[in-house]
Amino acid sequence: MMTEHDLENGVKTHYSPLEAAVRLSGLIRHEADIQTAMGNNPWPGADECARWPALHLYLGRIRDALLHSELVCCKSGIAGKDSPLPLDDPGLSIRHVALRKWIENSYPEECPVFLFGKGYVPHAVSERACRVLSAELQAKSIELTQCSASLDAIRKERDLLVRQHQSLASKYSNETSQDGAPYRRRISTLLGIIEALENFLIRGRISDQLDLPFRTQDSLIKALLRYFPKRPGMSERSLREKFADARKFAKGIS
């Protein structure tokens, strides 16, 4: 049953191509003038539509859709199983439901009131497309969670490396800084060894029992430990390490 709203918007069960174009272009109030201007010409050209460019646009769209079977036509509103009607057939018409389906599929962003009513929200995305998009969104969400976990692991590893670097840098700084206790202890040890060797080699012997010169490193180390037992840093291990470092240094500068 036709409502007042339908009558105002020119709703019919079927339309001629010109009637459909008039309604799609929003020119229903000028339909009588247009029909008079076009006469019996079902497909007016650009010159005839000069006053209504939107009308010419929609006529072209409808003609193209009919030619490519994108828009189903009928004869005087009755759908048949025969071959498509020629475009110049005076009975060529388009059913309301077919016109709506064509607009919904081909121009989903357009929702003329006479086809869809007021307040219609176009469904530009199909249900299948929604399912595909939903699946893609879920996959991206899982991927994002995995990336976040990997990022957290990388950050933890980075923090650990930063702490290790800081610890090593602090240790190295203490060992090499002249203000650090390890540096002072190392220098004290070296100075103690040098002073002990000076007593042996320059100032003469410390005891008449000391056999000079020393023929092996072992005999020298034993003598140093014997006559300087309480000298800081002068353990057998320390002496061997310092003598080894001295030999490497001497080879490096020779």
The pLDDT tens digits for 26-67 are 899 998 998 888 888 888 888 888 889 999 999 999 999 999
Predicted pLDDT of residue 59: 93
Predicted pLDDT of residue 1: 46
The pTM of this model reads 0.46
Predicted pLDDT of residue 21: 92
Predicted pLDDT of residue 81: 62
- One-letter-per-residue 3-state SS of 76-135: CCECCCCCCCCCCCCCEEEEHHHHHHHHHHHCCCCCCHHHHCCCCCCCCCCHHHHHHHHH
How many other C-beta atoms can be found within 10 angstroms of the C-beta atom of residue 222? 14
Q: Which residue, among 144, 151, 16, has the nearest Cα to 76 in the 3D structure?
A: 16
Q: Which residue, among 6, 16, 11, has the nearest Cα to 94 in the 3D structure?
A: 16
Mean pLDDT by 10 residues, the chain (254 residues): 56 90 91 87 84 91 91 80 74 90 85 80 63 86 92 92 84 58 67 70 53 72 81 82 79 66
| Amino acid letter, 188 | S
